């Protein structure tokens, strides 16, 4: 193993993302960004040592090169293997994970651009972007970079990162995330319905001659222009915004295809409306294609609306898990009992849980005895007796007695928060198939633009008259039909739905790759009650074993005894 001379991270020389040779020594880097930093001033970096390591002692770099056989002795720097192993463990322990929701992604080529930009950052060990969840998962060294730098990189790439403000800026809570999504969905729904309402008369006017509408050609053109303009520049403004953001970075994405295609149809039609004599002078009959641009924008907005609904359903499992935790907790502050938001509970607080309430946080019973229903964690149907000194898990249900619990884990450290994190990480992880789709899509958009330009040129040169009209229509058709939406969205959405459904039924999948290989399973081992059963005991049959006893009499007596009881079979 080698040490990145810029950030100090341990790098496997066989899998290093970048390497360079300086003064006949090979140096390996965790990311291309570290390599560029090193090449800018290698002697200075080697003199001061890695930024991600402590500087209290001189730092010696371990550099290995595959051009020589593996040495039997210790590394050339004089370090023993144990020292390298300790440094590797320290570097791994120092790595933190950041999950950032991102606005403005539209296709798999966006995913590829953001991943490349993040992976090029110094101090970033890995970055994965999921189009279905619309978020990036970044592993980084906090001594080298941080959330603010990651945000700035995403923003410079033309997208909008979404982070909570304040000290806890490493994540955004579920409620805020839902509020943002709902606002986005409302805006998208409004744009679609307005665009659909305006597109319908444009389509009717476009077929006016066939439908016998008593309007002159010129009047029809002007009416279509008035109706299509709000569709093009209000409902479709998000495509222009995305395309301009990509153009600033000299790249393209799906928004580029839509903006170029619809603009070609729209501005050709505007020219035919404003200057019909120009076309007539060239022997062409002026024709407009406002219906084409309007219909394309409306249909793509409808597709985006369907995508948003699919993503919302796929994320339902996360919301249900988060909903298991109570919103309020009753804590002792001095001599007073106070109801506070569960986020305000601190380590060491004494929390009071009455019968029928959920335990708000993980902790230890300090006073009282009770029975807790822990089926949401363990799957076991019978309540578990608790007494002073026993551990309790947040979100479990207190059945009988009153408890006073000392909080030992709160916030992100509770068992429920860790389960939610496992599901979110699994949904964000990319199986090999999704990585392949993203890689293909990254080359797809430039190829489509090239093919569309070639199509336009061939139809213009060799097509039947009017050649310009045929060339324009086929140019727009190639751009719009070839949008790689499904290519980038189908695989991550299916992974989200699969993992979300699993979590809903109590099956936690640690990653999409496990789901992808599930068809190879030959044996399934079930280890506890509640996996195949309902998880709750119930009376199925009553059998009288003594003469003179009937089923009705037994049930009546049992019901009378159970009426004032909280027995789980009741």
pLDDT 10s digits, 398-424: 988 889 999 998 887 888 888 877 777
Rounded to the nearest integer, the mean pLDDT of the chain is 77
Residue 170: its pLDDT value, please? 36
Residue 53 or residue 493, greater confidence: 493
Residue 66: its pLDDT value, please? 40
Give the H/E segment covering residue 85: helix 81-94
CB 232 within 8 A of CB 288: no
Neighbours of 309 (CB within 10 A): 11
Task: Dump pLDDT digits (tens) for 331-387.
Answer: 988 888 888 888 888 888 899 999 888 999 999 999 999 999 887 777 677 788 898
CB 63 within 8 A of CB 25: yes
Residue 220 or residue 440, greater confidence: 220
564 three-class SS = coil
86 is catalytic: no
The single residue of 43, 335, 339, 527 carrying the catalytic annotation is 527
Residue 179 or residue 524, greater confidence: 524
Supply 273's token pair.
Answer: 């409306």
Average pLDDT rounded to a whole number, residues 154-168: 68
Quick one: three-class SS letters along 315-365?
CHHHHHHHCCCCCEEEEEECCEEEEEEHHHCCCCCEEEECCCCECCCEEEE
Question: DSSP states of 24-67 as a string?
Answer: TEEEEESSHHHHHHHHHSHHHHHHH--TTS--SS--------TT
Taking Cα atoms as reference points, which of 309, 325, 233 lies closest to residue 270?
233
Residue 230: its pLDDT value, please? 95
Residue 364: its pLDDT value, please? 93
Is 326 exposed, middle or buried (CB count within 10 Å of its CB: 0-12, 13-18, 19+)? middle
Is 392 exposed, middle or buried (CB count within 10 Å of its CB: 0-12, 13-18, 19+)? buried
User: Which residue do the tokens 């090449």 mark?
Assistant: 39
Task: Dump pLDDT digits (tens) for 532-544.
Answer: 666 567 788 899 8
Partnered with residue 127 across adjacent β-strands are 138
CB 437 within 8 A of CB 487: yes
């Amino acid at each position: 193993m080698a040490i990145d001379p810029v950030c100090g991270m341990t790098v496997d020389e066989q899998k290093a993302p970048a390497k360079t040779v300086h003064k006949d020594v090979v140096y390996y880097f965790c990311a291309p960004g570290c390599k560029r930093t090193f090449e800018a001033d290698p002697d200075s970096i080697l003199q001061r040592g890695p930024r991600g390591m402590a500087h209290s002692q001189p730092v010696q770099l371990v550099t290995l090169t595959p051009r020589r056989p593996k040495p039997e002795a210790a590394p050339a720097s004089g370090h023993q293997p144990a020292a390298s192993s300790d440094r590797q463990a320290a570097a791994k322990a120092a790595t933190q994970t950041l999950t950032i929701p991102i606005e403005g992604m539209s296709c798999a080529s966006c995913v590829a651009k953001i991943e490349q930009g993040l992976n090029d950052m110094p101090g970033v060990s890995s970055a994965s972007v999921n189009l279905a969840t619309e978020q990036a998962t970044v592993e980084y060294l906090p001594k080298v970079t941080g959330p603010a730098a990651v945000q700035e990189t995403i923003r410079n790439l033309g997208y909008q990162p979404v982070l909570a403000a304040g000290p806890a800026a490493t994540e955004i809570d579920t409620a805020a995330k839902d509020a943002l999504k709902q606002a986005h969905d409302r805006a998208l729904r409004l744009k679609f319905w307005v665009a659909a309402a305006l597109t319908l008369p444009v389509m009717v006017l476009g077929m006016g001659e066939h439908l016998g509408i008593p309007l002159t050609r010129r009047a029809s053109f002007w009416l279509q222009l008035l109706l299509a303009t709000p569709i093009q520049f209000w409902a479709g403004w998000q495509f222009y915004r995305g395309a301009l953001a990509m153009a600033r970075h000299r790249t393209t994405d799906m928004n580029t295809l839509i903006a170029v295609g619809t603009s070609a149809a729209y501005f050709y039609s505007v020219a035919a409306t404003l200057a019909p004599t120009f076309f007539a002078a060239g022997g062409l009959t002026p024709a407009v294609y406002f219906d084409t641009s309007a219909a394309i924008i409306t249909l793509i907005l409808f597709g985006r609306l369907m995508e948003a609904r699919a993503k919302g359903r796929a994320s339902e499992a996360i919301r249900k898990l988060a909903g298991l935790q109570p919103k309020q907790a009753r804590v002792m502050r001095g001599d007073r009992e106070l109801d506070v938001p569960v986020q305000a509970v601190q380590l060491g607080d004494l929390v009071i849980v009455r019968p029928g309430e959920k335990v708000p946080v993980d902790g230890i019973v300090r006073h009282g005895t009770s029975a807790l229903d822990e089926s949401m964690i363990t799957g076991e149907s019978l309540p578990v007796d608790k007494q002073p000194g026993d551990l309790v898990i947040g979100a479990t249900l207190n059945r009988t007695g009153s408890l006073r619990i000392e909080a030992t884990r709160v916030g992100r450290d509770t068992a429920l928060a860790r389960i939610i994190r496992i599901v979110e990480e699994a949904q964000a992880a990319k199986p090999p198939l999704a990585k392949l789709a993203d890689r293909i899509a990254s080359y797809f958009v430039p190829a489509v633009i090239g093919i569309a330009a070639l199509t336009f040129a061939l139809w213009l040169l060799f097509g039947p008259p009017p050649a310009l009209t045929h060339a324009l229509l086929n140019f727009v058709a190639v751009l719009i039909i070839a949008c790689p939406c499904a290519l980038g969205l189908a695989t991550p959405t299916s992974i989200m739905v699969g993992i979300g459904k699993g979590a809903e039924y109590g099956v936690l999948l640690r990653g999409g790759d496990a789901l992808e290989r599930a068809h190879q399973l030959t044996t399934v081992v079930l280890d506890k009650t509640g996996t195949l059963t309902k998880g709750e005991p119930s009376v199925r049959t009553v059998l009288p074993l003594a003469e003179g006893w009937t089923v009705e009499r037994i049930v009546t007596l049992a019901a009378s005894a159970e009426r004032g009881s909280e027995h789980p079979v009741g």
